[in-house]
Structure 1
Amino acid sequence: MHHDSLDRRRLLQWGAAASAGLVSPMLRAQTWPSKSIRFVVPFAPGGSSEIVVRTTAFELSRSIGQSVYVENKPGGAGNVAMQEVARADDQHTIILGHIGTLAVNPYMFDKLPYDPIKDFKPISLLAKVPSLYLVRPDLPVRNLKELIDYARKNPAKLTYGSAGNGSAGHLAMEYLKMASDTFMLHVPYRGTGPQLTDLLAGRLDVASVGAPAVMQFIKTGKLRCLATGTAQRIAQLPDVPTVAEQGFPNFEMTQWYGILAPSSLSQPAADKLALAAAAAIKQPATHEKLAGDSAIGVGGTPAEFAKFIAQEQQRWKVVVARAKIKPD
């Protein structure tokens, strides 16, 4: 009898502790995830985000023991998806965070339907996609210094294209203009495709485009790459110097992607997800797939990702304000 009541008392104490939240996080982490995970992407399928997400989702589902399915939800420069996921409290929804939604939109929009810091938990930086600075091959410039000299000697004559207002390519060019104190006229397009058509046809002079979309044209000489926006040279273009190397120290322009969870995700679950995401991106198979598309796998801790987001916000706040970049 005594033995039985002791067990019962222990069970009651344990129940009280569990309801007070003392036991539950550990147990929650052991049982999380209890169903498949929805990975929301704030873009239409295609483009640089696609390869990063598909590769990560596949490896992530293997390491976390539940399927991870991708749901594309474009609209409002990523704000539609961010707003929806900020409010998701099913503990099984995550989102692809990137330069636009986290570091640019806060300064480009007068009012955001989400708070990029308060509403989300950074999980892990996944990959960086190098932004390349390109010119049409018949433009008489061979490097960044020559482009800048040409722009100064021919004011308002050079045109540069982008995939739209506030797009990564728009930011990359405005950042270069700011750093080099030059002027080039912006021609926004509806997407990377139409912009490339005009650049390849010589109707545009300059553009900054994510590496995956243009590597084939550089290799065949249809476009000339003057510089990479990365901190170090990239393996696919070992002879092309970085912007930083060509006289602009600390200049870095990459499109980057990471995983965010709603701030309501329990901390043990977030930690478990972060470990799995970093492991997924560091798999040799993942690295190979990303490298094939000229993306650089990163994978890090939530603290590292949070610090990176803060640095990027400082960088882009200045550019957006100076260039008076407004959404379409």
Structure 2
Amino acid sequence: MNIPRRQVLALGAASALGAATPLLRAQSTWPSKPVRFVVPFAPGGTSEIVARSVAAELSKQLGQNVYVENKPGGAGVTAMADVAKAAPDGHTIILGHVGTLAVNPYMLDNQPYNVDKDFVPVTLLAKVPNVFVIHPDVPAKNFQEFVAYVKKHPGELNYGSAGNASAGHLAMEYLKLVTGMFMTHIPYRGTGPQLADLLAGRTQASSAGMPALGAYIRSGKLRAIAVGTHQRIAALPDVPTVAEMGYKGFETSQWYGILAPAGTPPDILKRLQEESYKALRSSAVTERFATDNAVGGGGPASEFAAFIKGEQKVWSDIVKRAKIKPD
């Protein structure tokens, strides 16, 4: 029996549409369940503050709960390995940052994933200035006095960080490199735990973002001696930049963005980027970011991918020169 060509084409189109329907339906109904937003550090730090601020708005916009899951340990490797193996359906995402994306590939010999192949960038969420602080008991009123004191007492002071390859660890090692200071690094499992010891005077210095440090600086429990940005920040107008102190070109900031497991459908990635852009411009997030001197992102995935590549180039060199190793 001969079937008219028009009918054959119609049947073929119907068949193709039927095969594509499950994928189209999966994309159009995303998210169909709560979205797990993994943060590679313990509660209490800038990373969690950024993630929770954005997650709260995404939950409202998407009609599904976007919940933050803190998963500290292993310089972020534990969390990254978990998400790399997650189903690429848009229901598991991770907060990427300078340590996991731009430093670990050059600091760690073996990782159970490839950051460039096993993850796909979605969007940059925020850049947060690094602030360098010391405990008030340290006999130094400013940055110059601190550098002079550490050089006079090499190895006697300890600085804490949120963990190996955290933004604070990298900022302090970079500072040590350019100034010639020597302090011992004490890694913790998050900014919260390391701040507890710094406030108690068990460690003497640290670097973190204003979201975590602001209240303690304002109360006098910590002394801000420098910021890592090119220009001074509005929240600390009297605190100089490291570059101002004679270390030209010094710049370091914390940055955070969303990544998903490789293979996540492009339509889901695009919607997640668009919804993140919308969340970052909500009054709740912009007000919080303004208070913390954070600069919101939200641009396309290609822009975030190019940014990561640029950071990898910068930090691969710093890791080599500063001989940064996991403690």
Instruction: Determine if the TM-score, normalized by the shorter chain, exceeds 0.5.
Output: yes
- Residues 236 and 281 (structure 1), Cα distance of their counterparts in 2 relative to 1, 3 Å cut: same
> CA offset at residue 164 of structure 1?
4.1
Counterpart in 1 of 2:323?
324
> CA offset at residue 269 of structure 1?
1.9
- Give the partner amino acid of 1:261: A
> CA offset at residue 139 of structure 1?
4.0
Whole-angstrom distance in 2 between the partners of 1:74 and 1:6: 61
Counterpart in 2 of 1:277?
276
Whole-angstrom distance in 2 between the partners of 1:190 and 1:67: 26
- Residues 6 and 38 (structure 1), Cα distance of their counterparts in 2 relative to 1, 3 Å cut: farther
- Residues 35 and 220 (structure 1), Cα distance of their counterparts in 2 relative to 1, 3 Å cut: closer
Give 1:126-275 correspondences, 5 Å limit. 126-188=125-187, 191-193=190-192, 195-202=194-201, 204-275=203-274
Which stretch of the first structure deviates more once superposed, 105-114 or 45-54?
Answer: 45-54
- Residues 33 and 203 (structure 1), Cα distance of their counterparts in 2 relative to 1, 3 Å cut: closer
Secondary structure, in 3 states, of the residue corresponding to 2:312? helix
Give the alignment's Cα RMSD to 1 decimal.
3.2
Counterpart in 1 of 2:53?
55
- Give the partner amino acid of 2:267: P
Whole-angstrom distance in 1 between the partners of 2:6 and 2:29: 24
- Give the partner amino acid of 1:50: E
Identity percentage over the alignment?
55
1:261-302 CA distances to partner (integer Å, 9 max, x unpaired)? 112011222122111112211222211123345544322221
Matched, 1:109 2:129: no
In the alignment of these two chains, the number of paired residues is: 324
Counterpart in 2 of 1:123?
122
Conserved? CA contact 1:290–1:297, under 8 Å: yes
Conserved? CA contact 1:96–1:260, under 8 Å: yes
Give 1:44-123 correspondences, 5 Å limit. 44-92=42-90, 93-123=92-122
Conserved? CA contact 1:134–1:223, under 8 Å: yes
- Give the partner amino acid of 2:42: A
Conserved? CA contact 1:99–1:255, under 8 Å: yes
Conserved? CA contact 1:51–1:290, under 8 Å: no
- Give the partner amino acid of 1:144: F
Whole-angstrom distance in 2 between the partners of 1:202 and 1:96: 31
Whole-angstrom distance in 1 between the partners of 2:308 and 2:100: 11
Conserved? CA contact 2:77–2:100, under 8 Å: yes
Which stretch of the first structure deviates more once superposed, 141-150 or 127-136?
Answer: 141-150
Which of 37, 40, 50 is the matching residue for 2:35? 37
Matched, 1:15 2:14: yes
1:49-81 CA distances to partner (integer Å, 9 max, x unpaired)? 222122211212333444323333333222222
- Give the partner amino acid of 2:36: R
Whole-angstrom distance in 2 between the partners of 1:68 and 1:151: 44
> CA offset at residue 260 of structure 1?
0.4
Whole-angstrom distance in 2 between the partners of 1:46 and 1:195: 10
Which stretch of the first structure deviates more once superposed, 231-240 or 253-262?
Answer: 231-240
TM-score by length of 2: 0.84
Which stretch of the first structure deviates more once superposed, 193-202 or 57-66?
Answer: 193-202
1:72-130 CA distances to partner (integer Å, 9 max, x unpaired)? 33332222221222232341221111222212221222111111111111011112333
Whole-angstrom distance in 2 between the partners of 1:235 and 1:11: 64
Which stretch of the first structure deviates more once superposed, 274-283 or 54-63?
Answer: 54-63
Which stretch of the first structure deviates more once superposed, 303-312 or 36-45?
Answer: 36-45
> CA offset at residue 35 of structure 1?
3.9
Whole-angstrom distance in 1 between the partners of 2:200 and 2:74: 30
Conserved? CA contact 1:160–1:184, under 8 Å: yes
Secondary structure, in 3 states, of the residue corresponding to 1:183? coil
Whole-angstrom distance in 1 between the partners of 2:63 and 2:221: 45
- Give the partner amino acid of 2:278: A
- Residues 136 and 51 (structure 1), Cα distance of their counterparts in 2 relative to 1, 3 Å cut: closer
Structure 1 unaligned runs (5+)? none
